[in-house]
Amino acid sequence: MKINDILSDEEIENLIDGSSDIAMIRRLIEKTQYKNLIDDEDFADQFSFQIRGFIDAEIGSDAYEKAYINNRDWGFNIATNINELLINKWTKM
């Protein structure tokens, strides 16, 4: 079963601490799905890579690296939230 088939846009939006592109999140879910969950490390890496263009610092600078790591942590938290929701859904099925 594809994760994107069981999560609504509203559910995904509620799992994101901040604003993001739901279509991008869905693409990342599809890329990082492993069985009935998503690979949180892979999702975090791909998420930070996808939004790197929003970092307002020179590539290679300490500020850039710090922002990139913060974005990766944000992606990891999103993935964790998605997996927790999925586990909750699976236990109710």
CB 16 within 8 A of CB 44: no
With CA atoms as reference, report the closest residue to 49 among 37, 31, 34: 31
User: What separation in angstroms does the CA of 89 have from each of 51, 57, 85?
Assistant: 29, 40, 6
Give the integer Cα–Cα distance in Å for 8 and 93: 16
Q: What is the DSSP track for 76-91?
A: HHHHHHHHHHHHHHHH
Residues of the chain with pLDDT under 70: 19, 93
Query: Tell me, what's the pLDDT at 19?
Result: 67
One-letter identity of residue 31: K
pTM: predicted TM-score of the whole model, two decimal places: 0.88
How many other β-carbons are positioned within 10 Å of the β-carbon of residue 4? 13
